[in-house]
Amino acid sequence: MLVVVLLLVAAALLGFGALLGQQAAYRGMGIDPDQYREWRRAYPEAQAEIRALQEQVAAARTRHEVDRSALELVRKDLARQQEQIADLDEGLRFYRSLMAPGEIAQGFSLRGVELTALEAPGHYAFRIIAQQEARKHDTLRGALSVTVLGLEQGQPLSYPLSVLSDDVDEEGIGLRFRYFQVVEGELVLPEGFQPQSLDVQATISQPRKLDLRESHPWQVQERFTHVAK
């Protein structure tokens, strides 16, 4: 019994000493033991709250990115729709000019020469639209020839379109239509040649004879217009 009592007393003294040592250590660090225990109890809850807040921030950031992407898609779609409306309006004016007498001078006319750059250097796509405005649209027949004028080594030089394009014969471009005709193809410029303008000549044999000659500047655009498409 004496041994047991002595062991219990020794254990109590050791526990009391450890408690006194812990409190002394807390006081040495300026920590309140009760507050420290409260902090230990609150620590897991604080960690859980921090994780929840981090998840909320990540979700908010994701929603922001989604909203920004959706807004960009809406902007692009709106731009495409506006472009389509402009193209349709341009096409409508074109067809109205053919069908409604008086909006343009009656007879044969050209809508200029459209040019777009292709991927290969010096390669271009061209388009020419010939049209006829009349109260009675008879079949128009004739021929069209195009010459590209520019400079090479500082000297004026010109090339027939038939030399630059495999889509055009030496005899020129045949015309045969009632309302309009679209002439399209590709051309390749010689290396060192700097184009400046295009000379277009049309010779109409039916329904009445007509010779037309126009000069158009060499202007490359991003795409062809919607007219006649």
Q: Give the CATH number of the domain where residue 116 resides.
A: 2.60.40.1400
**153 SS3 class:** coil
pLDDT for position 63: 81
Residue 110 lies in a domain: yes
Residue 9 lies in a domain: no
Residue 186 lies in a domain: yes
Residues 85-125: tens digit of each pLDDT: 666 666 666 556 555 555 545 678 888 889 999 999 999 99
pLDDT for position 55: 86
Residue 63 structure tokens: 């929603």
pLDDT for position 123: 95
Residue 82 lies in a domain: no
Contact 126, 174 (CB under 8 A): no
Predicted TM-score (pTM) of this structure? 0.56
Residues 20-67: tens digit of each pLDDT: 555 554 555 555 556 666 767 777 887 888 888 888 888 888 888 777
pLDDT for position 146: 93
Residue 162 lies in a domain: yes
Q: Say what percent of the chain tops pLDDT 70.
A: 70
Residue 66 to residue 58: CA distance in whole angstroms? 12
The amino acid sitting at 34 is D
Cα separations (Å) of 149 from 6, 30, 196, 200? 120, 93, 6, 11
Residue 208 lies in a domain: yes
Per-residue pLDDT at 9 exceeds 80: no
Full residue range of the structural domain in which residue 152 is found = 105-220
Residue 146 lies in a domain: yes
Strand boundaries in 64-139, DSSP class E: 107-117, 123-133
Residue 16 to residue 228: CA distance in whole angstroms? 101
The answer, yes or no, to whether the previous bond of 207 is cis (omega within 30 of 0) is yes
Residue 159 lies in a domain: yes
User: How many separate domains does the chain show?
Assistant: 1
Give ∠ CA 174-179-185 in degrees, rounded to 5: 40
Residues 68-77: tens digit of each pLDDT: 777 777 777 7
Question: What is the average per-residue pLDDT within 183-206?
Answer: 92
Residues 114-166: tens digit of each pLDDT: 999 999 999 999 999 888 876 677 888 999 999 999 999 889 999 999 999 98
Helix (H) or strand (E) holding 172, with range, is none
